[in-house]
Amino acid sequence: MNKKVILVVDDEPRSRQGIRKTIERLAFDQYEVITAENAAEALNRIDNEKVHVLITDIRMPEVSGLELLKQLKEKAQDPVVIVISAYSEFEYAHEALELGVVNYLLKPIAKEKLMDAIEKAVDIEKQREKTGMFNKILDDKLIEMQELTKYNRAVQQAIEYIDMHFEQELTLKEVANQVHLNPSYLSALFKEELQITFSEYVTRKRIQEAKKLLLSTDLTVSEIAEKSGYQTSKYFIKLFKQFENTTPNGFRKQNVSDS
């Protein structure tokens, strides 16, 4: 499992190295701790590697900690942020909180408070990661169809059956038999009530499941194709590209590297 990366930014070498050593000693090698002596170096590091938690001093020469946070927001980079400052700079707390800071620690920092703040920040980052992954997987059209009660009873039953058996070979005739309807009538009902065809619903359901497996497992594309209800990976890749504008491997590479 990859370690969470914590970036410590402080222009005072003793403070910077003290925080790094405290984390390394008390976290038992749980995190990878990197440092930067100013905002420019911090931005460069964040541009070149994924930083999960940022601990920054609020007052630094040239570019302050607050300015660093503003620049990160503009660049849409959002590590979970802990700000450290002296008592005399406490008036900056309000602006820091508006910039999304999750904790504000006053110097000198008690070791217990530092570690507690880091644990909370890492928990927030993990939750963000889960939410981000969830959003990458979900199909907006399928979300619109979650309110089953607004549909004809037969359509509700058909959706429930597809959702439970999407990994199997599914035909309109088979699902129609399950809900005791003529296939042509079920097909017309699907299109009228869901605004998509029976086959598009099945495909969207399977692609959504495939995206989940791509991001949460190390299964091969062939294995994921099979678990998503496709007999051949070639056909699965063709459909995936049609719906996601990228291949399954491309989707995995892009989204796993982002997290």
Give per-residue pLDDT as tens, 204-226. Answer: 999 999 999 999 899 999 999 99
Label residues 61-92 b or e (16+ Cβ within 10 Å = b): eeebbbebbebbeeeeeebbbbbbbeeebeeb
Cα(122)–Cα(127) distance, rounded to whole angstroms? 9
| CATH number for the segment(s) 4-130 | 3.40.50.2300
Give per-residue pLDDT as tens, 147-168. Answer: 888 899 999 999 999 999 999 9
The answer to whether residues 100 and 78 touch, using CB atoms and an 8 Å cutoff, is yes
Look-up of token digits 């070149």: 48
**The pLDDT of residue 132:** 85
Residue 34 has pLDDT above 60, yes or no: yes
Could you tell me the CATH superfamily of domain 140-258? Answer: Homeodomain-like (1.10.10.60)
Listed by start position, the domains of the chain span 4-130, 140-258
Residue 189 has pLDDT above 70, yes or no: yes
Give per-residue pLDDT as tens, 124-142. Answer: 998 988 888 888 899 988 9
Cα(202)–Cα(224) distance, rounded to whole angstroms? 16
Q: Is the pTM of this model over 0.85?
A: no
Query: What are the angstrom distances between the C-alpha of 192 and each of 151, 166, 175, 176, 243?
Result: 10, 22, 17, 16, 22
